[in-house]
Structure 1
Amino acid sequence: MADQSVNMKQLEEAKALHNKGVDGDKKAVKKANKMLLKLREASPDNAIIEGYYGSTIVLSGRDSVKILERVDKAQEGLDILNHAIALDPNNKEIRLLRGNICVRLPESFFQSSETAIEDFTFLLNHYKEDSNYLTLMQIREVLRNLSEAYKNAGKPDKANAVLNRLNQMES
């Protein structure tokens, strides 16, 4: 039990570093990646650890100066995130991670907009069933990202419909 609480504390620390990495802190990405790698080795079937580890791989690709390394790391991270979803398909946190990454990757290389649409639609459908599932801030973020994913996927009518829904919420 003590090992599990240590792992939870380390996971929370790794998540905080990950979030700093999302905001551009390259050193935080490297630290989070190392921590998550160790946690992953200790708990190979933990979907949350897997999801954050995959995200740090994508972030390390974002931070790479070599274009081929960027592409390889992004694909590797996506594969790991897909595995995390396979481990726990109903996990909100992993769906947010993967959706947010997929909507930001270049569609011409990764064709990941449909995955983002799947994740954001999943989140909104669960919110319809349970109004406590997402915060108001998360709903707005999901709607903005869903609209962007539809736009990236070449579906401007659906993108505009989602934007209209967001605008109605904000008025």
Structure 2
Amino acid sequence: MVNISEKDIQLLQEQVISLHKEAVEGNAKAVKDLHQLLERVRSDHSDIPLLDAYHGSTMILIARDKTNPLDKLRWSKSGLKLLDGAVSSAPQNIMVRLLRGKAAYKLPEKHFHRARTAIEDYTFLIKRQIHGEGFLNTKRYWQLIYELGEVYHRIGRNQDASICWLKLKNEAQDPSFLHLLQLKLKLLEGKPSVEYIPDAESPISNLIRRAANATESELNNRLKQQKK
């Protein structure tokens, strides 16, 4: 294993963060470059959980861009394995938790059953923020709470979703965001606190019969609408 200084690690992480941001925004070349970079670096440095987490997240992005359902499944499972390993090695690392939580949130629940993972990581991050860590700006903090509500709603935990969105309604000031929250809360009116969602229990084998493009596209559109 080649020795690497703290300064080199910092520079490497800055490069990874920059490429990852572009990759998340849809830059296919950034996804490819980041995957190649992390493969090369991790072959010599397999003991840095944050790099493992970034590589796992990158694999999820590769899956996003694939058209073959089996390729989507293969890349997603490889990415999740790295992300789970990174959290196991560094459970208190905020960025590791954020990367895994975001990946779990974006994956279709009916195929991957990762709602519990997203809830675990998002709850951890929100608690750290509330307790004064201050690692997120206001918009990203609100986004986490909103997405946590989405995850709860996705699996039929309507009361928990309502708690998240009501909290945001009391804190947020952006008119368009408040309108979105009102629509979300209206969807929950008259629904039981917990309801059975058949799609949330479907086996992962459904992925072989149907690609997840439409589902992921819908989630991405919701996020874009929230940011506007």
Provide Cα deviations, 1:22-52, integer angstroms capped at 9, x if missing partner.
1111110010111111221222110110000
The answer on whether the counterparts of 1:7 and 1:39 sit within 8 Å (CA) in structure 2 is: no
The answer on whether the counterparts of 1:96 and 1:119 sit within 8 Å (CA) in structure 2 is: yes
Which residues in structure 2 correspond to 1:28-107 (within 5 Å)? 28-107=30-109
Looking at structure 2, the residues matched to 57 and 165 of structure 1 have their Cα atoms a distance apart, in angstroms, of: 33
Q: 1:2 to 1:133 in 2, by over 3 A?
A: closer
Looking at structure 2, the residues matched to 166 and 39 of structure 1 have their Cα atoms a distance apart, in angstroms, of: 40
Aligned residue pairs total 171
Cα shift at 1:115: 0.5
1:142 alignment counterpart: 144
Looking at structure 1, the residues matched to 68 and 157 of structure 2 have their Cα atoms a distance apart, in angstroms, of: 32
The answer on whether the counterparts of 1:11 and 1:39 sit within 8 Å (CA) in structure 2 is: no
The answer on whether the counterparts of 1:114 and 1:153 sit within 8 Å (CA) in structure 2 is: no
1:12 alignment counterpart: 14
Cα shift at 1:8: 2.6
Looking at structure 1, the residues matched to 102 and 57 of structure 2 have their Cα atoms a distance apart, in angstroms, of: 10
Cα shift at 1:148: 1.0
More helix by share: 1
Looking at structure 1, the residues matched to 133 and 18 of structure 2 have their Cα atoms a distance apart, in angstroms, of: 26
The answer on whether the counterparts of 1:15 and 1:32 sit within 8 Å (CA) in structure 2 is: no
TM-score by length of 2: 0.71
Secondary structure, counterpart of 1:162 in structure 2? helix
Cα shift at 1:129: 2.1
Is the deviation greater in 119-128 or in 80-89? Answer: 119-128
Looking at structure 1, the residues matched to 20 and 136 of structure 2 have their Cα atoms a distance apart, in angstroms, of: 21
Query: AA paired with 2:17?
Result: K
TM-score by length of 1: 0.93
Cα shift at 1:3: 4.3
Query: AA paired with 2:41?
Result: L
**Long gaps (5+) in structure 1:** none
Query: AA paired with 1:33?
Result: H
**Long gaps (5+) in structure 2:** 174-228
Looking at structure 2, the residues matched to 91 and 160 of structure 1 have their Cα atoms a distance apart, in angstroms, of: 28
RMSD of aligned residue pairs (Cα, Å): 1.6
Is the deviation greater in 6-15 or in 19-28? Answer: 6-15
Percent identity over the alignment?
29
2:128 to 126, 129, 145: 126
